[in-house]
Amino acid sequence: MTERLTADIAVVGAGPAGLAAATAARQSGASVLLIDGFAKAGGQYFMQPRAGATGNSQSEAGRQAIAAANEAAVEVLSGIEIIAAYPGFRLLGTGGGRSIVIDARAVIAANGAHDRVTAFPGWTLPGIMTAGGGQRFVKLNGALPGKRVVIAGSGVFLWAVAETLLDKGAEVVALVEARRPSVALASHLLCFPERWLEAASLYRSVSSRVRRLIYGRVVSKALGSHRVEEIILADTRGGPSETLGNFDTLLVGHGFQPNIEVTSLLGCKHRFDDGRGGWHAAADQDGRTSVPGLFASGEVTGIAGYRPAALSGTLAGIAAATDLGFSSGTCRDETGRLKRQLTRARRFGHGLGRLFAPLPVLAQQATDDTILCRCEEITKGEILSAVLEGSDSVHAAKMWTRAGMGRCQGRMCRMSVTACIAEATGRSPEHIGFNRPRVPCRPVALADALVAFEEATEGQT
Ligand SMILES: Cc1cc2nc3c(=O)[nH]c(=O)nc-3n(C[C@H](O)[C@H](O)[C@H](O)COP(=O)(O)OP(=O)(O)OC[C@H]3O[C@@H](n4cnc5c(N)ncnc54)[C@H](O)[C@@H]3O)c2cc1C
């Protein structure tokens, strides 16, 4: 039986952005539904631990944001994934045996980001996971993904992951950063004194406890019979490779990619910027997109971190409610102050994003028989053959080979397939494009999907 719900504003995603957006919109007088696929509100940064697992300072900050939403009487639907979104606005959600059709006058997409995944020979071996996945193990379950861990990739997030694992008692055998320490990074940090303490404390905490800090190398191959046992680290400047062993788990992360399923399904404009995680929803500071009534906030608008996510959420919540005729009671001075804070916080996050953007050498590690699309088991060689036959975009590659047509709808292979086509054709990622998701945009039981579609398409063209 499908439930029908209505609200002035539906907010998709209950991370820092969605919680702030829902709270601000509700405080303005709009009725608000806040929907999240996770079992508990909080999103990635504010992730709430499972019962019995201990939290950390991030989950504590999250508890406060969740309490504020509850106090404002936001209606929270946890454990419900949005699997379809139609203009107008109608959303379909499923989870925990429930099928829900939501009609709303405005939508705020605050559905965050996911790990940026790169393919290299052996990357599908057991014992290898994304950096975000490894951290989630600890934050959600209070359990370690492994005892002796190598963390490799690029970006400050690797340090946060290392700290989480070290605090939980893991041995971090090596932290391998693709970039080398640079003057550009030091100058960027110098411009943001408000972040010095945090940066210094993270550096001290991690560098004093990891066994080895390695710069200027990327994982070029993982070896092992049943699970990962060794990795080859290539020098990004072409120097000799190094073999690393004696670990049980490899976590690889090259930053995040915005989740653009909801904004794509609702048809707003997107832009490409490698420093912001690639394709993201184009929105102004109030979160207004090119589609009237559709707002975007947080990482959906480009990777920048949890501070700008929360600030952009508040602004989107206020703007969405105001556009529907509610009065937020927030004076112009206050929104002006929030916007100045948002500009600065984004400048910091986007600057880091540019400094740690994926290096071209990453795409060169996959060989012809390396699987790029895991769901459909499509290799780099198959993508290259498709390119030779004229396929020069991710959409064409999907039509030719089925890459990106599986359960994850290209979330995992988008970066590798794009890089492969870019390398072979010389086209920019912007021209190679992205695949618009198909409904259902998340894997769900067929029965759930059928019931929801019948209800949702009733009376619609
Ligand atoms: C795995 C991971 C770990 C991270 N860890 C850190 C960290 O330790 N420190 C740090 O500074 N930054 C971290 N980040 C970066 C993080 O994106 C931001 O700092 C911050 O959480 C962004 O807030 P947000 O509200 O935009 O998105 P998120 O916090 O990601 O919240 C988005 C929410 O949307 C929900 N959602 C997504 N799709 C759907 C759907 N279809 N239906 C329903 N709900 C949906 C998700 O369940 C999630 O709760 C992490 C990011 C990821 C992907």
Query: Is residue 456 a part of any domain in this protein?
Result: no
- How far apart are alpha carbons 187 and 447 in whole angstroms? 55
35 CB less than 6 Å from ligand 1?
yes
Q: How confident is the model at residue 104 (pLDDT cuts 50, 70, 90)?
A: very high
Q: How confident is the model at residue 355 (pLDDT cuts 50, 70, 90)?
A: very high
> Residue 329 class from Cβ within 10 Å (0-12 exposed, 13-18 middle, 19+ buried)?
exposed
| Mean pLDDT value across residues 284-303 | 98
Out of 253, 271, 295, a domain closes at 253
Asked which of 282-286, 339-343, 404-408 is least confident by mean pLDDT, the reply is 404-408
112 CB less than 6 Å from ligand 1?
yes
Closest CA to 343 of 368, 319, 308: 308
Is there a single domain that holds both residue 63 and residue 23?
Answer: yes
The mean pLDDT value of the chain amounts to 94
pLDDT above 50 (res 286) = yes
Q: Is the dihedral of CA 328, 334, 335, 339 positive or negative?
A: negative
444 CB less than 6 Å from ligand 1?
no
Is there a single domain that holds both residue 248 and residue 268?
Answer: no
pLDDT above 60 (res 420) = yes
Work out the percent of the chain whose per-residue pLDDT is above 90.
84
Residue 218: predicted pLDDT: 97
Is there a single domain that holds both residue 249 and residue 262?
Answer: no
Closest CA to 8 of 330, 456, 329, 324: 324
45 CB less than 6 Å from ligand 1?
yes
Q: For 40-79, what is each residue's pLDDT tens digit?
A: 999 999 998 887 777 788 889 999 999 999 999 999 999 9
Q: Report pTM.
A: 0.95
Residue 141: predicted pLDDT: 86
442 CB less than 6 Å from ligand 1?
yes
Q: How confident is the model at residue 461 (pLDDT cuts 50, 70, 90)?
A: very low
| 158: its two tokens | 């690797």
Is there a single domain that holds both residue 374 and residue 394?
Answer: yes
Is there a single domain that holds both residue 107 and residue 228?
Answer: no
User: Which residues fall within 8 angstroms of residue 446, CB to CB, at 6 or more apart?
Assistant: none
Query: Is residue 25 a part of any domain in this protein?
Result: yes
Query: Is residue 405 a part of any domain in this protein?
Result: yes
Query: Is residue 447 a part of any domain in this protein?
Result: no
Is there a single domain that holds both residue 279 and residue 211?
Answer: no
Residue 327: predicted pLDDT: 85
Amino acid, res. 345:
A
Is there a single domain that holds both residue 177 and residue 138?
Answer: yes
Is there a single domain that holds both residue 70 and residue 133?
Answer: no
Residue nearest to atom 10 of ligand 1 (CA): 45
Q: Are residues 6 and 102 in contact, defined by beta-carbon separation less than 8 angstroms?
A: yes
Which residue range(s) make up the domain with 211?
Answer: 119-253
Residue 171: predicted pLDDT: 97
**Residue 36's CATH number:** 3.50.50.60
136 CB less than 6 Å from ligand 1?
yes
233 CB less than 6 Å from ligand 1?
no
Is there a single domain that holds both residue 277 and residue 207?
Answer: no
Residue nearest to atom 2 of ligand 1 (CA): 132
DSSP 3-state of 181 = coil
In the reported structure, the alpha carbon of residue 209 is separated from the centroid of ligand 1 by a whole-number distance in angstroms of 27
Query: Is residue 451 a part of any domain in this protein?
Result: no
Residue 379: predicted pLDDT: 97
Query: Is residue 459 a part of any domain in this protein?
Result: no
21 CB less than 6 Å from ligand 1?
no
Is there a single domain that holds both residue 68 and residue 157?
Answer: no
In the reported structure, the alpha carbon of residue 158 is separated from the centroid of ligand 1 by a whole-number distance in angstroms of 16
Out of 194, 229, 253, a domain closes at 253
Other CB atoms within a 10 A radius of the CB of residue 384 amount to 17
- How far apart are alpha carbons 231 and 174 in whole angstroms? 12
Residue 53: predicted pLDDT: 76
Residue nearest to atom 49 of ligand 1 (CA): 43
81 CB less than 6 Å from ligand 1?
yes
Out of 253, 283, 300, a domain closes at 253
118 CB less than 6 Å from ligand 1?
no
Residue nearest to atom 22 of ligand 1 (CA): 306
- How far apart are alpha carbons 25 and 111 in whole angstroms? 17
DSSP strand E in 13-135: where? 32-36, 75-78, 81-86, 90-95, 98-109, 113-115, 128-130
Q: For 225-258, what is each residue's pLDDT tens digit?
A: 999 999 999 999 999 999 999 999 999 999 999 9
**Residue 407's CATH number:** 1.10.10.1100
134 CB less than 6 Å from ligand 1?
no
Is there a single domain that holds both residue 41 and residue 105?
Answer: yes
Q: Give the N- to C-terminal CA distance of the chain in Å, as an integer.
A: 23
Query: Is residue 438 a part of any domain in this protein?
Result: no
Amino acid, res. 347:
R
184-187, long-range: CB < 8 A, 24+ apart: 184/355, 185/355
> Residue 321 class from Cβ within 10 Å (0-12 exposed, 13-18 middle, 19+ buried)?
buried
Query: Is residue 383 a part of any domain in this protein?
Result: yes
Number of domains in the chain: 3
Asked which of 28-42, 413-427, 432-446 is least confident by mean pLDDT, the reply is 432-446
309 CB less than 6 Å from ligand 1?
yes
Is there a single domain that holds both residue 150 and residue 224?
Answer: yes
DSSP 3-state of 252 = strand
Atom from ligand 1 closest to the CA of residue 112? 27
Q: Report CA-CA distances (Å) from 301 to 111, 191, 285.
A: 10, 23, 10
Residue nearest to atom 7 of ligand 1 (CA): 45
In the reported structure, the alpha carbon of residue 346 is separated from the centroid of ligand 1 by a whole-number distance in angstroms of 16
